[in-house]
Amino acid sequence: MTVTDGGFDGFYEDMRMNIKSLALGAALGLGAAGAAHAATFTAFDLQPTSTVSLFSPETFSLEYDTTGWASIDSATLYLTLGDDGDRLPEAAVSYVSGNGSASVFLTTPISTFTGYSLGSVLDLVALGGTSLTGTVFGVGDFLYGGATLVLEYTPEFTPIPEASELWMLAAGLLAVGGIAVKRRSLGQV
């Protein structure tokens, strides 16, 4: 192979660009490895089926622990309700409080037990909070079977490179070292 003047310079310029690309790819890969993924936490307050009415309300408390959470992305409250079999229409009213705020929800039970979504209660839960409490009562009487709180949160994280990415980084460093040795043996600095 005949190398014309400047041929090695072009070769090394290509190698420098490849090394820069490899280093950038390794840095991006290491950063992506530490990215946090959303997780779900569910709190249950299941109770034996009870009959609830305006004069015999049922209370619930849903406990959660936000230690290690970076944020709470969504919070949905469900009540398990059902018609007690009589022919009267019933409506359930739920009073829920947490994080210094309160909300009142209205829903209508149906003939079989169903987990009714009361919608978002994100304004009632917060990092550092520990519980969401509520009372279920209604017009008429109906069956109540418990409450469920579903929280989607982002965990706190510390980027930890995975083994495959460390191998890529090591290979890149070896390539850089090999090029330096090759350049030194050719008399280039």
Tell me, what's the pLDDT at 2?
A: 41
pLDDT digits (tens, 9 = 90+) for 77-117: 999 999 888 877 788 999 999 998 999 998 888 777 889 99
Do 146 and 164 reside in the same domain of the chain? no
Query: Same domain for 132 and 64?
Result: yes
Helix 7-33 crosses helix 163-185 at what angle (to 10 degrees)?
160
* 67 and 139, same domain (yes or no): yes
Confidence of residue 17 (pLDDT cuts 50, 70, 90): low
In this prediction, residue 94 carries a pLDDT of 93
In a domain, 26, yes or no: no
Are 52 and 91 contained in the same domain?
A: yes
Q: Which two tokens stand for residue 43?
A: 């709190």
DSSP string, the chain: ----TTHHHHHHHHHHHHHHHHHHHHHHHHHHHT----EEEEEEEEEEEEEE-SSS-EEEEEE---TTEEEEEEEEEEEEEEE-SSSS--EEEEEEEETTEEEEEEE---SS-EEEEEEE-GGG--TT--EEEEEEEEES-EEEEEEEEEEEEEE-------HHHHHHHHHHHHHHHHHHHHHHHTT--
- Considering the domain architecture, whether residues 146 and 62 belong to the same structural domain is answered as yes
Whether residue 100 sits in one domain with residue 173: no
We report the CATH number of the domain holding residue 80 as 2.60.120.1200
CB 153 within 8 A of CB 67: no
Q: Please tell me whether residues 148 and 164 are part of one structural domain.
A: no
Distance CA 110, CA 84 (A): 9
Q: What is the pTM of this model?
A: 0.65
Q: What are phi and psi of 2, to 5 degrees?
A: -105, 125
- Do 44 and 133 fall within a single domain? yes
- Highest-scoring range by mean pLDDT, 24-38, 52-66, 78-92, 160-174: 52-66
Residue environment code for 74-84, b if the CB has 16+ CB neighbours within 10 A, otherwise e:
ebbbbbbbbbb
Residue 92 lies in a domain: yes
Q: Are strands 39-52 and 58-63 parallel, antiparallel or unpaired?
A: unpaired
In this structure, the answer to whether residues 56 and 108 fall within a common structural domain is yes
Domain that holds residue 127: 39-155
**Residue 19 domain flag:** no
Number of folded domains in the chain?
A: 2
CA distance 81 to 50: 10
